[in-house]
Structure 1
Amino acid sequence: MSPPAEQTNASARRIAQLALPALVVLAAEPLYVLVDTAVVGHLGRVPLAAVAVGGTVMSVAVWFGTLMAYGTTGRAARRFGAGDRSAAVAEGVQASWLALATGALLVVVVQMVAGPLARALASDPAAADAAAGWLRIAVLGAPGLLLAAAGNGWMRGVQDTRRPLWYILGANVLSAILCPLLVYPGGLGLTGSAIANVTAQTVAGGLFLAAVVRESPSLRPVPTLIVNQLVLGRDLLIRGGAFQVCWLSATAVAARFGVAAVGAHQIALQLWFFAALALDAVAIAAQSLVGAALGASDADVARVVARRVTLAGGVAGVGFAVLAAAGAGVIPSLFTGDQAVRDQAAIVWPWFVGLLPFAGVVYALDGVLIGAGDVAFMRNITIVAALAGFLPAIWLAYALDLGLGGVWAGLGLFTLVRFVGMVQRWRSARWAVVGATR
């Protein structure tokens, strides 16, 4: 069956129709984290450091979710492009079973290791204890977080980015209201922040679960499909593991430079994640359109999408850099009143601004290659960037007492190595393999 022309339409208008709703979805979670950071930051250095440490651990769950969403999008988009919507939705059903199992496992594991893990990441005992308490509550939202990721994946694959917009936006607005109410007038402090996180993630997961239940003719787990998703996700898992080692190592090294340093690192890193996910909006459109085009055996359209997305990513990255540079004297003050933390943030800021244009291109090409299923290459270039760039630089920063500047120099090397490798891959067109599956 041939797909409707709109499914493989590579016009700028069609890219925007998919990207703009995805932008809201992508921005909602990190924007809530920024609100959470600002609310907690005004409780003092220790609570801010606790959220930095606990949030870094919870980023593992976010990583699993991103991996699940991206893997499901690629598989669903190819089947959708080949004209089989029911098979695309079936990918979402199996991804939801995988999300529930993974989320439950994370809850059990984190309850057991929260204390030792927090102490390993935070040198300050008070910050470590606070982080462990926050983490034990916050991890209860992991099943909902992963269900939402699985739902986002199959809906993007069938080019439905509007329903996810309302699901994610509604849940996060609710939680953004709850967070300050629970932390301050509710008198719960840091615990209120964790409860607000769990609320948003559980509500969002429930909405996506209801959506797939309404669409699917069969909700039974199919082991063969789940195994196929796991096999396809293997390279994304390894790639994501390299990211997590880098983020965890960066936080651990930043913590060794003091509470003010790790607080500033938390602010800058969450802003980086926010910018990255916002820049990824066009890449989400690329995943859907590239996957559908290749599923429909139209490599020419896939290459047109890739070219337009790469240009859009670079322009958006420059735009974010200009905004960040203009707000250098104001933005850190929104998150903390502590002068020591603001001084440390000033060290990070030039790195943050300078890397954004390169990141815009990298994240756009991530979407192209994920949509194409070219995840083995993505795995390899990420491992090279981590082992040859990020990790040596930040541990050298620790050994030589170079402070946060050394940590963010590592992030710079990590980004630039990926930039060079992925641009070369894009220009080669070896990623454009046609067919309903790769």
Structure 2
Amino acid sequence: MNTMGIPVDSPMRIPAEQFLTLRAFGAPPIVIALAAQGTFRGFKDTKTPLYAVGKYLIAFILLWKLNEKVLLVSPNIDGGRVARYLKSGGLLIGRTLAVLVIMTLATSLAAREGPIPMAGHQICLQVWLAVSLLTDAIALAGQALLAGRYSRGDYGQARQLVYKVLLVGLIAGVALAVTLFLGFVSLSYLFSTDLEVLQIARSGILFVAGSQPINALAFVLDGLYYGVSDFEYAAYSMVLVGIVSSVFILVAAPVFGLAGIWAGLFLFMTLRVAAGIWRLGTKSGPWKLVWSEIEQENA
């Protein structure tokens, strides 16, 4: 086995290493572009990131346009703000690492099943991720709108926005689930014509389609976390959820194969939603202000 969990004599090894090499080359501009996109969201400008295409090109375009809005290199550096930024950034890096660990683990264990099961798994995984990320647009809109209302102290409107964004996310998730249930068989032909691969991919339709409502809520909750700067809970809860889900996958994959891996990924998203709903229900941290008016009325 190499570091990716692929046997050294596997036909998947060389393509995997080539892909990772190219991805490493594109990593620096991706990081810059993601940071710039986050800044544009703060300005509620979602059009500019949409127009930029490419890796190094998108980083250049976003930095160029961003320079028109803010001073990228300030002569006056506020140490306190830098420290707060680094803390929030560190928490989000930890959160992202938790996601990467479980996704990498799932891919590694699927690779050990062999080339054909791995190919079927990748079709399911890529469709699952791509369709799920459609609801990320709802999360981004909710994040920007909630941040504006929260920062102005308009907590009543912020509370109503939370309800509406969750409802819209759930509706979108159900719609995506129905669409995939009806169209996944036809969609799978876009990825392969190998009948064995397609048979394995189609066996994962329950995972790909059935999890979409949960996935939608998970992404929407992420946006709500960021909207009120609840980074600490977002990071620590993700680490805990990642650990539990990783243990499940490690136990289930050797017994149930791809079904165990898919069940573990579904558990991962379900626990994310459970952690988010629980956080909203506790009305603690930054959420205390959002629910403050209700608490005063009940008192």
**Common fold, TM-score beyond 0.5?**
yes
**1:142 has 2:142 as partner:** no
Aligned length: 286
Q: Can you list the C-alpha shifts for 1:15-58, whole angstroms capped at 9, x where unaligned? A: xxxxxxxxxxxxxxxxxxxxxxxxxxxxxxxxxxxxxxxxxxxx
**1:266 has 2:122 as partner:** yes
- In structure 2, the partner of 1:202 is 56
Q: 2:261 aligns with which of 391, 395, 407?
A: 407
Q: 2:229 aligns with which of 373, 396, 403?
A: 373
Write out aligned runs for 1:151-190 (5 A): 151-167=36-52, 171=53
Q: What amino acid sits opposite 1:216 in the alignment?
A: V
**1:212 has 2:97 as partner:** no
- In structure 2, the partner of 1:421 is 275
Over the aligned positions, Cα root-mean-square deviation in angstroms equals 2.2
The separation in 2 between residues aligned to 1:360 and 1:132, in whole angstroms, is 32
Gaps of 5+ in 2: 291-299
**1:349 has 2:208 as partner:** no
Q: What amino acid sits opposite 1:334 in the alignment?
A: L
The separation in 1 between residues aligned to 2:187 and 2:72, in whole angstroms, is 49
The separation in 1 between residues aligned to 2:153 and 2:224, in whole angstroms, is 16
Q: 2:6 aligns with which of 122, 126, 129?
A: 122
- In structure 2, the partner of 1:299 is 155
C-alpha deviation, 1:283, in angstroms? 0.9
Q: Secondary structure at the match of 2:287?
A: coil
C-alpha deviation, 1:227, in angstroms? 3.6
In the superposition, relative to structure 1, how do residues 217 and 244 fare at CA in structure 2: closer, same or farther (>3 Å)? closer
In the superposition, relative to structure 1, how do residues 417 and 133 fare at CA in structure 2: closer, same or farther (>3 Å)? closer
Q: 2:250 aligns with which of 378, 395, 405?
A: 395
C-alpha deviation, 1:226, in angstroms? 4.2
Cα pair 1:286 1:305 within 8 Å, conserved:
yes
Percentage of pairs with the same residue = 28
Q: What amino acid sits opposite 1:122 in the alignment?
A: I
Q: Can you list the C-alpha shifts for 1:254-305, whole angstroms capped at 9, x where unaligned? A: 0011111111221211112212221111110111111111211222221111
Write out aligned runs for 1:322-337 (5 A): 322-337=178-193
Higher relative contact order, structure no. (Cα contacts within 8 Å, ≥ 6 residues apart): 1
- Using the size of structure 2 for normalisation, the TM-score is 0.88
- In structure 1, the partner of 2:295 is none
In the superposition, relative to structure 1, how do residues 351 and 133 fare at CA in structure 2: closer, same or farther (>3 Å)? closer
The separation in 1 between residues aligned to 2:22 and 2:222, in whole angstroms, is 33
Q: What amino acid sits opposite 2:19 in the alignment?
A: W
Q: Secondary structure at the match of 1:336?
A: coil
The separation in 2 between residues aligned to 1:164 and 1:350, in whole angstroms, is 33
Write 1 or 2 for the structure with the bigger share of helix: 1
Cα pair 2:280 2:287 within 8 Å, conserved:
no
Q: Can you list the C-alpha shifts for 1:38-82, whole angstroms capped at 9, x where unaligned? A: xxxxxxxxxxxxxxxxxxxxxxxxxxxxxxxxxxxxxxxxxxxxx
